[in-house]
Amino acid sequence: MSRSLPKRVWYRFLQSLCQVGAVVFFSYRSAGRERVPLEGGALLLANHQSFLDPIFFGLSCRRMLNYVARDSLFNIPGLSWLIRSLDAIPIDREGTGLAGLKETLRRLKQGDIVVVFPEGTRSEDGEVGPLKPGFAAVARRSKVAIIPAAVDGAHRAWPRERMLPRLTRIQVEFGESLSADEITQLTDDELLVEVERRIRACHASARAALQKRSPAQKTSVTDTGQAIITR
């Protein structure tokens, strides 16, 4: 979408601020960002490990991203103002979600990148879960490419059962995109399988990168505050 100058400045300010925090507190790194096109609409499909995921994917891209968020988040004081200031798209997961779908298609057709987490919810164990098929219709109707991506480390940083995040390493990986022409050659079932395969490959690559970055011996802190040494 065509953001106003104040909104573009606000987005870049938050991106810069979060970039510093992500590197300092989470040793954040990304790979494959050159696979994200510099222009044109695209559907960025990624795994979902924590509330931090939108931040990490946003830091990885030179372009401004558009996020889809469940409509209940727009009722939370503070968070509602923030996501509205970033032009997030509300989706009614309990109803038809027609308004959110129309807005998503509009932004894709005008050349924006929209981020969707096709698992539909945060992972309970950090692994990639089954994808919901709704993205297939969006990709076909908008005639845009699909960019697979994955994050690892975010589940350890902020799993569902924790109130606040903890410090750990984060890695983001982007995979080879599926062009609009390639998408038309696949059935919905085949597209679902292929996108899930590519997201899982990105996740495996991110996890391998994290393992290479981890020292042979490190000190961590348990939930009770006790320091332990692991190998």
Q: What percent of the chain has pLDDT over 70?
A: 90
CA–CA gap between residue 72 and residue 92 (Å, rounded) = 8
204 backbone dihedrals φ, ψ, rounded to 5°: -65, -40
Domain definitions of the chain by residue range:
5-230
pLDDT digits (tens, 9 = 90+) for 76-106: 999 999 999 999 999 886 655 788 999 999 9
pLDDT band at 54, cuts 50/70/90? very high
What pLDDT is stored for residue 98 in this prediction?
85
How much is the pLDDT for 1? 61
pLDDT at 221 over 50: no
Per 3-state DSSP, what percentage of the chain is helix, strand, and coil (rounded to 5)? 45, 20, 40
Query: Which CATH number is correct for 5-230, 3.30.10.20, 2.30.30.90, 3.40.1130.10, 3.40.50.300?
Result: 3.40.1130.10
Identify the pLDDT of residue 40: 96
Say whether pLDDT at 138 is over 50. Answer: yes
| Amino acid type, 155 | H
Please give the Cα distance from 23 to 26 (Å, whole number). Answer: 6
Q: What is the mean pLDDT of residues 40-57?
A: 97
